[in-house]
Amino acid sequence: MRHGPAQGGTTQTVRRVVQILKAFDGSRTLGIADLAGRTGVPRSSVHRIVRALVDEALLTQDTDSRRYELSLGVAELGAGTLRANGVRSASRPMLLETRSRTNESVHLGVLEHLDVVIIDTADSHYFVREVTVPGQRLPAHAVSTGKVLLAHQGEATLHRWLAAGRLPAFTPHTVTDPGRLLEELRQVRAQGYAVSVGELEEGIAGAAAPIFARGWVVAAAISVGGPAARFAEHREELIAAVCDAGRAATTALWQMGWS
């Protein structure tokens, strides 16, 4: 019995958030009274929701007028969706081709701060395999996909990110020292691929290569991986396959005019 009202309240709140965000269409700044008038949401609720949206960097408040406007965070959400869709569309054939070539699982990921978000997968047909799902988040410092993506960020950005938080250990092989990680990322950038063996989970290994937008800005990373023993046996073949896939996906992305 308790779940019904809570669910209804949550749904109402979500609708009100959407109403408030949509109310800015065609208007640069709006006050609490403007938003209440445009949406029909009580002023007390508008104030509470607006403060939450400011805290989440989706709205900003002018310090002089005390009025609100949409922040760049809203645009970034839309841009992130377009970016993920474009990369996924361009790279999908390479995921399938690399799986056929290696018989291992292949993943496509993008970077969100110090996390990798998986946006597409092609799972191995082996019974024992590496499995991830779209939407899954992985710690960038502990997987090959993340190391490739981090390697192509600016040094100043990396130093700022690494200074802001610790690097948790998932196994004895996880790199947790920022200095050591930075040195490894420089090597990854120079050689064009990354390898991770047992850093997120014992017995799992993978290799990843970058996918670039125009201007050689990293857009995503493609990885291939599976059981560490099988990876060790075919290491050079897997690295070659994923590097070929990264180059092919980069070409496809450029042909789409994606930048």
- CATH number (domain holding residue 59): 1.10.10.10
pLDDT-based confidence at 125, cuts 50/70/90?
confident
What is the phi/psi pair of residue 203, to 5°? 90, 0
60: phi then psi, degrees, rounded to nearest 5: -125, 155
Among 20, 46, 70, the domain boundary falls at 70
Domain boundary among 70, 89, 123: 70
Q: Are strands 59-61 and 115-122 parallel, antiparallel or unpaired?
A: unpaired
The angle subtended at Cα 41 by Cα 36 and Cα 45, nearest 5°, is 95
Q: Are residues 57 and 101 in the same domain?
A: no
> What are the structure tokens assigned to 38, written together?
């445009």
Judge if 155 and 203 occupy the same domain.
Answer: yes
Residue 82: pLDDT band (50, 70, 90) is very low
Task: List pLDDT tens digits, range 235-245.
Answer: 999 999 999 99
Question: Residue 232 belongs to a domain with what CATH number?
Answer: 3.30.450.40
Most distant CA pair in the chain: distance in Å?
A: 67
Regarding whether 53 and 83 lie in a shared domain, the answer is no
Q: Are residues 16 and 123 in the same domain?
A: no
User: Could you give the CA distance from residue 229 to residue 155 in angstroms, rounded to a whole number?
Assistant: 34
Are residues 13 and 82 both part of a single domain?
no
Same domain, 110 and 49: no
Give the pLDDT confidence of 186-229 residue by residue, as tens digits.
999 999 999 999 999 999 999 999 999 888 889 999 999 999 99
The number of distinct structural domains making up the chain is 2
Are the C-beta atoms of residues 152 and 210 closer than 8 Å to each other? Answer: yes
Q: 105, 146, 86, 139: which is closest to 241 by C-alpha?
A: 105
130/63 Cα distance (integer angstroms) = 51
Q: How far, CA to CA in Å, does 156 sit from each of 160, 168, 220?
A: 6, 21, 20
The answer to whether residues 57 and 81 belong to one domain is no
**Same domain flag for 184 and 205:** yes
Quick one: 80 and 112 in the same domain?
yes
The answer to whether residues 7 and 105 belong to one domain is no
Q: Distance between CA 220 and CA 114 in Å, rounded? A: 14
Band (88; pLDDT cuts 50, 70, 90): confident
Whether the model pTM is above 0.75: no
Q: Looking at the structure, tell me whether residues 13 and 41 fall in a common domain.
A: yes
Enclosing domain of residue 46: 3-70
122 has a pLDDT exceeding 50:
yes
Determine the angle formed by the axes of helices 43-55 and 32-39, rounding to 10 degrees: 110
Closest CA to 49 of 11, 12, 13: 13
Residue ending a domain, choose from 55, 70, 85: 70
On whether both 137 and 162 belong to a single domain, the answer is yes
- pLDDT of 27 higher than 70: no
Q: Which residue has the tokens 């980069």?
A: 250
